[in-house]
Amino acid sequence: MDKSPRLWTGFAFPGTAWLLALFAVPFYAVACVAFGSIDPIFRDAVPRWNPLTWDFSESKIIFSSLINGPLQGVAIRTIIYVVCAMLLSFLIGFPVAYFLARHAGKRKLMYLVLIILPFWVNYLMRMLAWVNLLSPSGLFSRFMNILGVHYNWLDGSPITVTLGLVYGYIPFLILPLYATLERLDWRLIDAARDLGANSRQAFRLVTVPMSKPGLFAAGVLIALPMSGDYYTNDLLSRSPSTEMLGNQIDFFLNASTQPQRGALLVLALSIFLLIFMSFYLRSTRQHARETTR
Amino acid sequence: MTLVASQSQRRARTSPLVFVIWAYIIWSLVPVIIAVIYSFNNGRSRTVWQGFSLRWWFTDPNASLWHDDSMRNAIFNSLVLSIATMLVVTPLGITLAIGAQRIRGRGSNVVQGLTAAPLITPEIVVGAALLITFTRLFTAVPLGFTAQLLGNVTFSLSSVVVIVRARLVSIGSSFEEAARDLGASRWQALRFVLLPMLWPSVMASLVVVFATVIDDFVITSFLSSGVNSETVPLRIYSSVRGGATPALNALATLLVITSFTALVIGLFGLSTWRKRHGERGGLRAALADVTQMES
């Protein structure tokens, strides 16, 4: 298919127009509200549709607040929770995916089904399950009481929030990890072993470097939704002491009369994640280049 | 010789990781199973077991899932929203996938970029942006069902494109070229050769979209207009930390049953289709279809 006949342009048109109107334009609308003005009487945001008239005074306040002001705690907490949750997810997810790809043998299909199941259980159901277990009369709390641990799990505990994020998003890590490891050329690892590497060396020097782009992409893939998460926090903590960026966005847009601040935080989150995304795109492109070679 | 040796070594090393995977499976599934069990609790508590009953499912005349109007309303809203999204997004996604794969020239970059972007944008960003758009720019779109439908279509469009494009790549161009050589027009080759072959990806898309939308929380919540457009996830969210009865567990269980039913129907349909058309079939290929994973 050398040139692009009108038929294919016609096929691409409806979906592209849809995404332009309801994905690209909304981003612009966010910017227009973020850099707009505030109605002096009703305190509501008044968007400025012309970029030449954008007003950056409020954005300076919010961005400096995120870096070294009242919102600094929120920004730092978001990063710490997401990084910890990612590391833990890898710690748990990698061995699971590795086993599935390498050692599952004849039972692979059964394991695969069991690993995919939580993927299809509603996120809120999985959080509901933990709220029940962690509440003071819940099974897990009672079990921990027997062990001598008396801890209020559901009232502003950073541990619960981080573990909640791990529990919520780890299925989304394991599947791409498994897909990456599954595609590896395991003969190279066998070759390393035959050439005298012990299993640890083969893992460190062959398996990990080969699966790096996939690991990286999978990590970014869960870091993105984790960074914007607010409902895990709402359900498992409900305390200002564990609030993340997503909670602030939710608050400003849905519960307050300051949508401009919400819009600015959406922009801040997007810019922050854009850095992640560019890494992701670069690593997937690199990976594609390597695999098609 | 070496192959045999390394395989036996592999088997010997299996044991420690097998514990890890089972620990993971138990950790990921048992809490949910406990929540399901507590929906049959005879008492009002979601944490203290007081004997088995169907009270919160059927028998309680006011507070059971079967008789609670607001819960039934949420179930109805969820089903309508996911079926409507499924019907809108599937044709839109199929045409976009075909177009995006074949379009060349200047427009191509715009199409590729726009199709890829939603995949790496957190849901809260899309939800917040659409909320701002529908309340300040496209004010003709009322919050509630219409906005939720538009939002969910926007967010799930790219995943349909991913599924269909994977299938397009695996079909290749030879079938269409053969049809063209035999005198079919571009459109005829598409309509009578390519489209029928796309069927597995269409089925996979339907299942994936249905399950994503019925489980969706963020976009549906940002674009809701209160009780009228409350779906099951929204209902769970607003009552988890209150003093809700085990009827809430029953509601959540019903949601799980619904997505599993969709999954099973989809897997069954996919493997039947593959078998009938002589393609490499079985549960594993079907699983790969719905998890967007190459097997």
Confidence of residue B2 (pLDDT cuts 50, 70, 90): very low
Q: Are residues A28 and A74 in the same domain?
A: no
A125 at B interface, C-beta within 8 A: yes
Q: Are residues A75 and A145 in the same domain?
A: yes
Alpha-carbon distances of A118 from A165, B146, B209, rounded to whole Å:
14, 30, 17
Which residue type, as a one-letter code, is found at position A90? Answer: F
Rama region for B64: left / alpha / beta (φ>0; ψ in -120 to 50; rest): beta
Overall domain count for chain B: 1
Q: Are residues A168 and A105 in the same domain?
A: yes
CA distance B118 to chain A (A): 8
Q: Are residues A165 and A217 in the same domain?
A: yes
For testing contact with chain A, the best of B8, B132, B162, B253 (most A CBs within 10 A): B132
Provide the angle, in degrees to the nearest 10, between the axes of the packed helices A72-102 and B2-38.
130
**Least CB–CB distance from B95: residue in A11, A47, A111:** A11
| Any domain includes B54 | no
For testing contact with chain B, the best of A1, A13, A22 (most B CBs within 10 A): A22
- CA–CA separation, B260 and B273 (whole Å): 20
Domain assignment of residue B116, given as a range: 68-290
ipTM of the complex: 0.89
A224 at B interface, C-beta within 8 A: yes
Q: Are residues A21 and A147 in the same domain?
A: no
CATH number at residue B201: 1.10.3720.10
Mark yes or no for CB contact A8/B233 under 8 Å. no
Q: Are residues A166 and A284 in the same domain?
A: yes
Structure tokens belonging to residue A114 = 């069991």
Residues of B in contact with A3 (CB under 8 A): 104-105
pLDDT tens readout for residues A2-26? 455 788 888 999 999 999 999 999 9
The residue ranking higher by pLDDT, B14 or A96, is A96
Domain assignment of residue A25, given as a range: 1-48
pLDDT tens readout for residues A93-103? 999 999 998 88
| Any domain includes A60 | no
What's the mean pLDDT in B98-108? Answer: 87
- CA–CA separation, A254 and B249 (whole Å): 27
| Any domain includes B63 | no
| Any domain includes B186 | yes
| Any domain includes A61 | no
Minimum CA–CA partner of B47 in chain A: A138
Q: Are residues A229 and A278 in the same domain?
A: yes
Mark yes or no for CB contact A132/B38 under 8 Å. yes
CA distance A68 to chain B (A): 24
Q: Are residues A128 and A14 in the same domain?
A: no
| Any domain includes B132 | yes
Q: Are residues A273 and A154 in the same domain?
A: yes
| Any domain includes B24 | no
Q: Are residues A32 and A118 in the same domain?
A: no
Confidence of residue B1 (pLDDT cuts 50, 70, 90): very low
What was the pLDDT predicted at B106?
Answer: 80
Phi then psi dihedrals of residue A37, to 5 deg: -120, 175
Minimum CA–CA partner of B152 in chain A: A22
Structure tokens belonging to residue A145 = 């009481």
CATH number at residue A102: 1.10.3720.10
Q: How many CB pairs under 8 A join A and B?
A: 283
**Least CB–CB distance from B128: residue in A20, A120, A249:** A249
Q: Are residues A157 and A197 in the same domain?
A: yes
Overall domain count for chain A: 2
Least confident of A135-144, B53-62, B154-163, B282-291: B282-291
For testing contact with chain B, the best of A7, A8, A238 (most B CBs within 10 A): A8
- CA–CA separation, B229 and B247 (whole Å): 20
Residue A233: which of A143, A88, A131, A86 has the closest Cα? A131
Angle A118-A119-A123 from CA coordinates, rounded to 5°: 80
| Any domain includes B157 | yes
Q: Which of helix, strand or coil describes residue B277?
A: coil
Residues of B in contact with A109 (CB under 8 A): 283-284
CA distance A29 to chain B (A): 6
Residue A93 near residue A172, CB atoms below 8 Å: no
Q: Are residues A249 and A167 in the same domain?
A: yes
